Amino acid sequence: MTTTSTTQAASVDLPGVDGPRLLRRLVPAQSLYTFGISIDLTLTGIVGAHLAPTRALATVPFSLMPVVAALATFGLSRWIGRSGYRRVFTVAPLAAVAAGLVCAYAVHVGSFALFCVGTALVGVYQAGAGYYRYAVAEANPDARARAITTLLAGGLVAALVGPLLATAVRDLGPRPYVASYLLVAVFAALAAAWNARLPRDLAHLTRTARHDEGAPDPLARTRRALWRQPALLLGVLVTALAAVSMSSLMTAGPVAGTHMGHTEQHAAFSVQLHMIGMYAPGLLVARWIGRLGERRVAALGALVLAGAGLATLRPDIVAFVVAMTLAGVGWNLAASGGAAMVAASYRPAERGRVQPFAEVVVTVAAVVGSLGAAFATTTTTWPVLGALVTVAAVAVGAVLVRPRRR
């Protein structure tokens, strides 16, 4: 038998993955993740402002999440290659269980340093959940973008309920917000239990065709060849834009809103609308993304993010809420289109040469956005942040709509 026929036979012998079934099972996992992260998005900036020794450090706890996520990405990617997605998806939420408990205790004793440790641990869960979209994209190769947007739509209910729960249980504990962070631990524990029962065929996604047990797939391209693809570079660029825009406006929003005279209830409401914007578009985009194409959806996301930046130029409550909502919608469209472009640029055997690097770029962008938000929590600098987002979104959007060379 020739080498080619051997490879083909090995590929045929690999068990298939039921893509639609896997998507149905990961949608609740995404929802449980969104429940926990929505509480962090709603409260971390506000609680950080109460615990931080100076206002300039208020967004540091939130910024630590993407920092740790970036550090954990490579380790989780290698673990996925060895053990498959299911084990990583089961263990990563346990970090958030510890995070919720540590944050609750930090709020109880008033320790800013301990609160930073707790929020940093959420980054491990964030990195693990970031691979949900790659799993569904690989399991549904003929409908990658639709699978990703459907997955994100699974967080809609959590986006609606999460911020309400965060504020509803605010005063149930011995100190404000202790019970809120205990909810983070509860939802993470439920996610770990659910993910432990994910289909076993999830492991087949990380299995690559081989001539024999010790030889890698000869068809796998080098990192140099992979990263010279314009579509891959542009997909990473637009997902990085989504990350930096969303994290900067989201992190600075609640603190800047209270500084502009809006109440904490208004800030929580804006976060709720932001979360709805992050996940609700998936209900529509999943239907017509096939007709528009991944690139056009990403360009539409950049346009919406530019609108979010422009809305920050006015300090009134309506403009504030519009800016937060559009930031969520733009993130959904840009991240969905960009992630689909990335997932379409590599084969299963090349996953480790693309996924972790793409995720690190995106998480670094989120870190830059959240750290930059520390300087945009006042009435005067909030519009400056919005202007920067608008300029970046217009620049990326212009590249996306530029005619492609043959």
pTM over 0.75: no
Are the CB atoms for 174 and 32 separated by under 8 Å? no
Q: How far apart are CA 249 and CA 304, in angstroms?
A: 13
241 falls in which pLDDT band (50, 70, 90)? very high
Q: Which whole number is the average pLDDT over 191-214? A: 66
Q: Percentage of the chain with pLDDT > 70?
A: 82
Lowest mean pLDDT among 54-63, 156-165, 212-221, 247-256: 212-221
Residue 13 has pLDDT above 70, yes or no: no
Q: How far apart are CA 94 and CA 100, in angstroms?
A: 10
Tell me the C-alpha to C-alpha distance, in Å, between residue 127 and each of 28, 122, 223, 258, 357. Answer: 17, 9, 22, 30, 12
Are the CB atoms for 335 and 328 separated by under 8 Å? no
Tokens matching residue 403: 């005619």
Are the CB atoms for 131 and 5 separated by under 8 Å? no
Q: Which whole number is the average pLDDT over 309-323? A: 86
Residue 133 has pLDDT above 80, yes or no: yes
Tokens matching residue 141: 């190769």
Helices 178-195 & 85-109 angle (0-180, nearest 10): 170
Q: How far apart are CA 382 and CA 377, in angstroms?
A: 6
Residue 177's Cβ-side half-sphere holds a number of Cα atoms within 13 Å equal to 23
Tell me the C-alpha to C-alpha distance, in Å, between residue 197 and each of 87, 118, 192, 348, 358. Answer: 10, 27, 9, 23, 28
Are the CB atoms for 320 and 274 separated by under 8 Å? no
Residue 307, Cβ density class (10 Å: 0-12 exposed, 13-18 middle, ≥19 buried): middle
| Model confidence pLDDT, tens digit, residues 25-50 | 888 999 899 888 888 877 887 788 78
pLDDT at 379: 52
Q: Which residues contact 147 (CB under 8 A, 6 or more apart)?
A: 19, 23, 136, 137, 139, 140
Determine the length of the chain: 406
| Model confidence pLDDT, tens digit, residues 249-272 | 877 777 676 667 666 667 667 777
